[in-house]
Amino acid sequence: MGEVSAKTLTGKQKAAILLMSMDVDVASKIFKEMDMQEVESIALEITNLKDVPSNVVEDVVEEFYELMMASSFMLEGGIEYAQVLLEKTYGQDRARDIVEKIRVLTSIRGFSILKQADPAQLANFLSKEHPQTIALILSHLPSTQAADVLQEFPEELRTDTLYRIATLGKISPVLVSEIEQVVDQIAESTFSQNLAATGGSQIVADILNKSNNTTAKAMLESIEEKNYDLSNEIKRLMFLFEDIVQIDDRGIQRILREVDKRDLALSLKIADDKIKNKIFKNMSERAASVVKEELDYMGP
């Protein structure tokens, strides 16, 4: 993968390397704790990583260990206690770097909801903030969303923000604190209310589409007991895998031509035998064999 070091790797690449260094069963348990978007993103990094030098793997594992130890210290006695213990272990400079990284990682808990926010609203809210704060927040959003937000800014602010994103270095604790307040304010007020009013059904449909069948059914039944119309709206927005048995064979064959075999195997992993039989019946013997082998490889 060329000349690299742990310092030049992205967070996703480090996560991929860390998982690759683990036993498969352990890595699988970690994947199960992630949402599907995170799994897909890191799985893509794993497929792209080739011939990672052993010293880079060691550096990534050591960094992970340091961060986990720092987090544990903070839970025991706060950030000051963590810094004292880390200084005794790694020295003052290294301890300061670790603590600052933890501060940044724990300050962005509201970003998940910002990723679902309307670009125009987000731009309107951020335009009142310091450009450096805007830069750090946008740097944590998907590039397409960040581009849409930037388009809403006046040209001068847009240029200034882009420059600051390009030159982001170490983040000062003062700025981290300011960003935490901004993100929390947005996440807990403007957008949480707006999403609940306008996009809640779609968000739930997306979540349930990525859940296993048992969980999805239980959640839908629970919602139906409270609000029948809302349950129907969510069902309308979902693609329920069991609905596939209602599609004629020609329609299924047309769908299967567009589906990656590994994606199909992942979906069939949680499907019942009736659905599996319907799918395999509409595949060539060779294609069905490939998918079945993939299912066997995945395990239970």
Nearest-10 crossing angle of helices 131-139, 155-166: 60
203-236 pLDDT per residue, tens: 666 666 666 667 677 777 877 887 777 777 777 6
Give me the mean pLDDT over the 294-300 stretch.
71
Q: Which amino acid is at 121?
A: Q
Q: Quick one: 14 and 99 in the same domain?
A: yes
Cα–Cα dist 176/101, whole Å:
10
Q: Quick one: 126 and 163 in the same domain?
A: yes
Q: Which domain holds residue 135?
A: 111-197
CATH of the domain at 221: 1.20.5
Collapsing DSSP to helix, strand or coil, 278 comes out as: helix
pLDDT the model gives residue 198: 38
Which has the higher per-residue pLDDT, 27 or 238? 27
Does residue 1 lie within any of the structural domains? Answer: no
pLDDT the model gives residue 193: 47
- pLDDT of 194 > 50? The answer is no
The total number of residues shown for the chain amounts to: 300
Which has the higher per-residue pLDDT, 125 or 76? 125
What residues contact residue 100 under an 8 Å CB cut-off, 6+ apart? Answer: 170, 171, 173, 176
Q: Quick one: 193 and 211 in the same domain?
A: no
* End residue of a domain, out of 41, 74, 106: 106
Alpha-carbon dihedral of residues 273, 242, 208, 262, nearest 10 degrees? 60
pLDDT the model gives residue 253: 85
pLDDT the model gives residue 213: 67
Q: Quick one: 254 and 224 in the same domain?
A: no
Q: What secondary structure, in 3-state letters, does 117-147 show? A: CCHHHHHHHHCCCCHHHHHHHHHCCCHHHHH
Return the closest-CA partner of residue 148 out of 180, 119, 169. Answer: 119
pLDDT the model gives residue 199: 45
Return the closest-CA partner of residue 68 out of 25, 18, 107, 33. Answer: 18
Q: Quick one: 122 and 193 in the same domain?
A: yes
On whether the CB atoms of residues 244 and 279 are closer than 8 A, the answer is: yes
161-181 pLDDT per residue, tens: 888 887 776 656 566 666 666
Two tokens, residue 130: 């310091």
Does residue 33 lie within any of the structural domains? Answer: yes
pLDDT the model gives residue 196: 41
Q: Quick one: 96 and 11 in the same domain?
A: yes
pLDDT the model gives residue 189: 53
Q: Quick one: 127 and 187 in the same domain?
A: yes
Give me the mean pLDDT over the 154-158 stretch.
88
Maximum average pLDDT range among 51-65, 68-82, 152-166, 195-209: 152-166
108-146 pLDDT per residue, tens: 455 666 776 778 878 888 888 888 888 888 877 777 888
Query: Nearest 5°: CA angle at 145, between 100 and 258?
Result: 115
Work out the mean pLDDT of the chain and round it to a whole number.
Answer: 73
- Percentage with pLDDT > 90 across the chain: 0
Q: Based on the structure, what is the number of domains in the chain?
A: 4
Give me the mean pLDDT over the 8-13 stretch.
80
Which has the higher per-residue pLDDT, 63 or 71? 63
Give me the mean pLDDT over the 247-253 stretch.
82
CATH of the domain at 135: 1.10.220.30
Distance of CA 220 to the CA centre of its chain: 24
Give me the mean pLDDT over the 138-157 stretch.
85
Cα–Cα dist 50/209, whole Å:
32
Return the closest-CA partner of residue 267 out of 154, 259, 161. Answer: 259
Does residue 223 lie within any of the structural domains? Answer: yes
